[in-house]
Amino acid sequence: MPPSLNFYPILGFNPYQGAGRLALGIVKGLEANGISVRVYPDLHAPSLVFGYAQAFDAPHIAHTRRTAYTLIESSQPARVLVEALNRYVERVFVPCPPAVESYQAHGVIVPVHYVPIGIDLFGVPEPVAEHAPRETYTFLTYSYGEFRKGADVAVKAFIKTFGDDARYRLLIKAREGRIGWLALIDHPHVQVIPGYQSEDDWFDLLRQADCFVFPSRAEGWGLPPREAALLGIPAIATQWLGMWDVDQWGIPLPVTETRQCDFRLNPYNADEGLWAEPNVDVVAERMQWVVDHPVEAKQIALAGREYLLKNFTWAQIGEQIAGLMGVF
């Protein structure tokens, strides 16, 4: 019999959401290591719980050894999460090193481990081939219709740098039903693309971009700009929390200012936690640099692709999870 592990993904397996993709990736990584993953528990196997604090005392996993995989999208975890981790689980996995430090500094006393997220859930796409300069240079960013992912900064930087120049455009990928302030955009060269997309459609949209710009205020991981780098597309991103290593795969935006985050009643993040506050002028400078230095920007992206493929496959991560949980 292969070793088994229970998995309780409170947020489900929706591939159109980051949490669902993470859950699917965990299953893929564990199964790649010969582990039988059971969504409903075997009382003789340890359980991995992914999600919010209220998941950790779920009745159907109450009598198993429990490990949590969770994250942080500000500088401080919510107190209710800290208390749940200390009460219900034996160890915690988080997807970036800064989260380890934050969880420990804010009261998590069980062991906390850095376990990253993979980039090959649906295979590894080929990088975008070299092509002649396009008639319209395309920037792409991502938003949920709020301010965490920094699309508002990307819009301001785009207008500041390229104004009404028809040779440039900015596309904003949005989520179904989460348009928010994006509905107020009225600029001839800024376009919002709402709705869920299949994996193929998402990568086709990425391939339209000459540069992915992501001045996010806080990320647990930051998958979209990494996916851009995986395609060999230059990615500008904030070097903060989940994107701590952007200097290895993209073009970093330094954090020079922080402010209180906008989360209210969020199950991960404390209201008093901090967000980065990207500098519009710096974002604009980086965008102009990529336009002016296409060869160098492409080299950074391709080197980033190699870094990601070397360090962040789901098979590697599944092996790490299994080892830390003592499944082997």
- Residue pLDDT, tens place only, 301-326: 999 999 999 999 999 999 999 999 99
CA nearest neighbour of 149 among 214, 76, 239: 214
Give me the pLDDT at residue 255, please. Answer: 97
Q: Evaluate if residue 213 carries a pLDDT over 90.
A: yes
CA nearest neighbour of 230 among 244, 213, 249: 249
Residue 240 CA to chain centroid, in angstroms?
A: 12
Query: In this structure, which topology does domain 4-118+313-325 adopt according to CATH?
Result: Rossmann fold (3.40.50)
- Residue pLDDT, tens place only, 33-77: 999 999 888 888 999 999 888 888 888 888 899 999 999 999 999
Q: Where are the domains of the chain?
A: 4-118+313-325, 137-311
Q: SS3 sequence, 150-218?
A: CHHHHHHHHHHHHCCCCCEEEEEECECCECHHHHHCCCCCEEEECCCCCHHHHHHHHHHCCEEEECCCC
Q: Check: pTM over 0.75? Answer yes or no.
A: yes
In angstroms, rounded to a whole number, what is the distance separating the alpha carbons of residues 241 and 222? 9
Give me the pLDDT at residue 59, please. Answer: 85
Let me know: does 158 contact 152? Beta carbons within 8 Å.
no
User: What average pLDDT does the segment 231-235 reach?
Assistant: 97
- Residue pLDDT, tens place only, 113-124: 999 999 999 999
Write out the two tokens for 133: 């300069």
- Say whether 137-311 and 4-118+313-325 share the same fold: yes
Q: Report the sign of the C-alpha dihedral through residues 49, 229, 206, 292, in that order.
A: positive
**CA distance readout (Å), 182 to 34, 111, 155, 177, 302:** 45, 41, 10, 11, 31
In the structure, what pLDDT confidence band is assigned to residue 264 with cuts at 50, 70 and 90? confident
- Residue pLDDT, tens place only, 235-254: 999 999 999 999 999 999 99
In the structure, what pLDDT confidence band is assigned to residue 263 with cuts at 50, 70 and 90? confident
The CATH number of domain 137-311 is 3.40.50.2000: yes
**CA distance readout (Å), 107 to 81, 101, 110:** 10, 10, 9
- Residue pLDDT, tens place only, 267-307: 889 989 999 999 999 999 999 999 999 999 999 999 999 99
**CA distance readout (Å), 16 to 20, 26, 67, 143, 201:** 7, 16, 25, 14, 11
**CA distance readout (Å), 79 to 48, 83, 103, 107, 202:** 21, 6, 10, 9, 36
